[in-house]
Amino acid sequence: MTNRQKKQGLSGTVLILLGLFCFAGAAFLTAYNYWDAARAEKASREIMLQMEKLVGETEDLSDPEKEDLPASLSESSMALPDSSAEVSYREMPAVEIDGCMYIGFLNIPSLDLTLPVMQKWDYERLKISPCRYSGSYFTDDLVICAHNYARHFSPVKGISMGADVWFVTAAGKKIHYTATNIQTIAPADIREMIQNNKNSLSGSEWDLTLFTCNTGGTTRCAVRCERVDDK
């Protein structure tokens, strides 16, 4: 065998090894992602178990016709007024669970999804549950972000228009929304994400936004919801 043939043989072997190494990396990353998603789902579920005790008995929220949840926290001072402008100064009530503050939880019956929502966001908090990104349900401009874990906001990207979305506050008050629009937003377009443009002639009008990354992570999928006044 000539030197050239030996070198070729060696190069081929190296390339094959590198390829196998890449496959191993892909496999490892896949395993890690599944593990991370499972961990996040478990973390959220544990938080929800504690939240149910603090906020009230959890009834089957898949039937929105049922009565409001009984609240262990007094909600006499937390009544949501008709005019959001009147209470723009109010803090959203929050409960503390495992050292983190939660403003309530989301329930999307059509996706069989119930998730707690933290009061503030950072990357550590996002690993546990969806987080409030900006705004408030008092001012109808609440924006919630979450990772696209399999049982966090990944299913939200496929939500049907008109699907019911419920937000139960830490005081036990249920707020009813319906999904009305899905937008794709560039990562740098923060203003587009958080301003609901209610008083402008153009731009979307919404009361609640849920967003997560699209596949690839180069854009954000924003699900816009409008509040339904149930009387």
Partner 1 sequence: MKEKNRIIRKIMAVLLLFLCAARCGNIQVNASQTAADQDLSGHRGSITVTLRSDGNGVSGGSFAVYQVAVLSESGNEFAYTDAFRDFAVSELTSGYSSEDGVYVAGNVFGDDTEENAESNAAANRKMAEDLAAYIRTGGSTVSVYGTLALGDGTGNTQAGTGTFSGPSGEGLPAGLYLFLQEQPAADIQPVSPFLVGVPRLVNGAYVFDVDAYPKTGTVSDITPVLQVCPSVQKQVTGSGADPTMVTDVAEGTYFQFDFTALGTDDPSDPDCPMPVNDEGSAADGGPVVSASSQTLRLQIGGTGIIPVGTITFTREGNYYYQVTERNGSDPDYDYDQRVYWLKYSVTPNADHSALEVSEYLVKDGNAEGEQLFPAENGEEPVFTFTNVQYQEAPGGDEGSSEEEPTEPTLDGDKGGNGEIPGEGSAGGTAGGTGTSGSAVSGANSQTLPQTGQLWWPVWVLAAAGAILILAGILIRRNRR
Positions touching partner 1 (CB under 8 A) are: 5, 8-9, 11-23, 25-26, 29-30, 33, 36-37, 77-79, 81, 86-92, 119-123, 126, 132-136, 138, 145-149, 153, 185, 187-191, 193-195, 211-217, 220
Q: At its nearest, how many Å lie between partner 1 and the CB of residue 163?
A: 21
Pick 24 or 49: Cβ nearer partner 1: 24
Separation of alpha carbons 189 and 25, rounded Å: 33
Burial label, 93 (beta-carbon count in 10 A; 0-12, 13-18, 19+): buried
Separation of alpha carbons 17 and 170, rounded Å: 54
Pick 131 or 165: Cβ nearer partner 1: 131
Q: At its nearest, how many Å lie between partner 1 and the CB of residue 201?
A: 20
Separation of alpha carbons 25 and 27, rounded Å: 5
- What the block records as the tokens of 222 is 């924003």
Pick 63 or 79: Cβ nearer partner 1: 79
Closest-CA residue to 70 (of 173, 157, 169, 193): 173
- What the block records as the tokens of 53 is 């005790």
Pick 99 or 216: Cβ nearer partner 1: 216
Q: At its nearest, how many Å lie between partner 1 and the CB of residue 62?
A: 26
Q: At its nearest, how many Å lie between partner 1 and the CB of residue 108?
A: 17
Contact 84, 139 (CB under 8 A): yes
Q: At its nearest, how many Å lie between partner 1 and the CB of residue 173?
A: 13
Alpha helices (runs of H) in the chain, residue ranges in sequence order: 3-55, 123-126, 190-194
Pick 36 or 46: Cβ nearer partner 1: 36
Q: How many C-alpha atoms does 146 have within 13 Å on its Cβ side?
A: 31
Pick 34 or 59: Cβ nearer partner 1: 34
- CA-CA distances (angstroms) from residue 37 to 41, 149, 151, 155, 187? 6, 5, 7, 13, 22
Q: At its nearest, how many Å lie between partner 1 and the CB of residue 213?
A: 3
